[in-house]
Amino acid sequence: MTRNAVLITGASSGIGAASVRRMAARGWTVYAAARRLDRLAALERANVHPLPLDLTDDASICAAVDDLASDGGVSAIVNNAGYGSYGAVEDVPLAEARRQFEVNLFGAARLIQLALPQLRRAERPRIVNISSVGGRIHEPFGAWYHATKFALEGFSDCLRMELKPFGIDVCVVQPGGIRTEWGGIARDSLLASSGTGVYAPWARRHAGMLDNTQAAGWLSDPDVIARAIEQALTARHPRTRYATGAGARPLLLLRSLLSDRLFDAMMWRGSQAQRNSGFDLWPATAPSPLPQP
């Protein structure tokens, strides 16, 4: 198979939608996958094909891959779909934790399993997994989200080695701060899980940080990540990792330089700074998790 055809999951908004537009403009055949096809209407053009896909439903994944095969197959997959489920480990139901893994890891893995025969027939086949700086760093109340991204990073490294004999490159993209719906979803899930109860003072403060971060002007446009995805798909010798977007490289550098305890303190301080931001969820009597300097 010599045609350039890519499946992009989570294509209805944000990074996924920007990637669909960029690869379609480059002349690739793009299969834009999402649970809700009505949200893909704005992306429709001659070489963009909407594809229904629910990563928590194995039958949906199988049907999508069958549709791709009947249409000539793909030469690349961009596993972009994902969301952030936040809340204290004690508060988040395991059913929600499992759903987080289904969407962010197991759905992508199942898609790869089924599509590999198509990729082996392609010229310069690629798998691009969208991780996060959250696949290398940590923060309070993000245990399940970060667990999925840490897992996706390790999964991608092992997969890259397994598929090398077949000439299939596996790349990881690690976005930093991006203007998408992600932050609002993470904030809402954090408040729903831990906005009341024993973790409430710290959880509500951290929700303030998530909210203010999303409102900040320094976040990168989703197209910044779409450009990295384009590079991963088209470079003759792609890098194994692309860290880009607001704060991505500085955060990863700090994580490599600081001890676990110092990095913990830095992340708590970032959350604590919301106390002076005027964010209305901050409880005035909340205790500090760290001694004041």
- The catalytic residue positions are 12, 131, 145, 149
Q: Which amino acid is at 37?
A: L
CA dihedral sign, ordered 277, 282, 285, 290:
negative
Q: Which residues fall within 8 angstroms of residue 197, CB to CB, at 6 or more apart?
A: 91
Contact call for residues 211 and 279 (beta carbons, < 8 A): yes
Cα dist. 291→51, 70, 127, 152, 181 in Å? 52, 62, 46, 35, 34
Q: What are the backbone angles phi and psi of residue 247, rounded to the nearest 5°? A: 80, -5
Residues in contact with 287: Cβ distance below 8 Å, sequence separation at least 6, in sequence order = 201
- Give the C-alpha separation, 26 to 109, whole Å: 27
Task: Give me the sign of the Cα torsion angle 219, 220, 221, 226.
Answer: negative
Q: At what angle do helices 200-215 and 260-272 cross, to 10 degrees?
A: 80
What angle do helix axes 248-257 and 260-272 make, rounded to 10 degrees? Answer: 140
Q: Which two tokens stand for residue 66?
A: 């069958």
Token couple for 215: 């409102």
Cα 240 to Cα 169: distance, rounded to the nearest angstrom: 8
